[in-house]
Amino acid sequence: MSAKPIWKIEVMTTAAAQPALARAIEDNCDALMAFELTPGGPWQLQGMTMDEPDEPAIRAKLAEAAATLGLSPPETVIERLPDVDWLAKNRSAFPPIRAGRYFVYGSHYEGAVPPGAVGIRLDASLAFGSGEHATTRGCLLALDRLGKQRGRRVRRVLDLGCGSGILSLAAAKTWTARVLAADIDRDSVRLARENARDNGVAPRRLRVRHSDGLRRLARGPYELVLANILAKPLRRFSRDLARAVGRGGTIVLSGLLAAQAGDVVAAYRAQGLALVRRWPIDGWQTLVLRRRASRS
């Protein structure tokens, strides 16, 4: 049985309308995904939350967003998921995933980690981040590329909104760095610590803390900052995250739809960071930004 009840918000829409509808409900979701059901066909927005949603308010937000596009209110289903051990069912269907050098697999996997790959063992769970979603995959690909850059020194890493700890584990296994992982959800904090132990990463290398934003966390500078959350908190934390990264350091941002990328990039450019690469996957984007190495 899951420790907490989980609600699903499911919205049927079109490719053109899904960014606006996603923005309308992103504050009501702990995780938000978008799927193209058939090539060129309808899209499905699917949000998950552990807090009972205010259904009338959510439907009103969706109707208002649709009206601005000249559309009728979208077909929407809001329901609590059945109290079954869906986590165990999900684990059994969780296949190994390869993203660059990283090979992510569950405890049920009986095969070997491919030669030359960096193995990360974790199970799909309530803490988001198993490598399946486009945002996590984009972050792993970004880390893989950063790890190939000669002369890049990464001694301190911050992973804000760490979820299962997958990105923290990838960073700890790529560089001999000290990683600080943080999440607002205490279940995620607990699970990230368990995953670090299961992957043989010592607490002195990977510390996990409960935190809302950067409060009560060790100050920077960090050479690498990771934040795979949602577009609105990414914009809200832009000043704090920009201050946390050192000169010449890098920020990897994800959890945003392609239509939201412009606003997020603008927020970080205003804080002195430059966009150096995008990783677009399935309508989502991962952004890599960098602070200049000097004031000149």
Q: Return the CATH fold of 127-291.
A: Rossmann fold (3.40.50)
What percent of the chain stands above pLDDT 70? 91
Confidence of residue 1 (pLDDT cuts 50, 70, 90): very low
Q: How confident is the model at residue 86 (pLDDT cuts 50, 70, 90)?
A: very low
Every domain of the chain and the residues it spans: 7-82, 127-291
The two tokens of residue 255 are: 């959890």
Average pLDDT over residues 169-197: 93
* End-to-end C-alpha distance for the chain, whole angstroms: 57
Q: How confident is the model at residue 68 (pLDDT cuts 50, 70, 90)?
A: very high
Q: For tokens 């919205």, what's the residue? A: 11
Confirm or reject CATH 3.40.630 for domain 7-82, answering yes or no.
Answer: no
Q: What average pLDDT does the chain have?
A: 87
CA distance 251 to 98: 23
Is the model's pLDDT at 292 over the cut of 90?
no
The number of beta carbons lying within 10 Å of the beta carbon of residue 181 is 32
Q: Is the pLDDT of residue 44 over 70?
A: yes
Q: 295: pLDDT confidence band, cut at 50, 70 and 90?
A: low
Q: Which two tokens stand for residue 75?
A: 């077909």
Instruction: Give the pLDDT band of residue 39 (cuts 50, 70, 90).
Output: confident
Task: Say if 7-82 and 127-291 have the same CATH topology.
Answer: no
State yes or no: pLDDT of 120 exceeds 80.
yes
The CA distance from 115 to 2, in Å, is 36
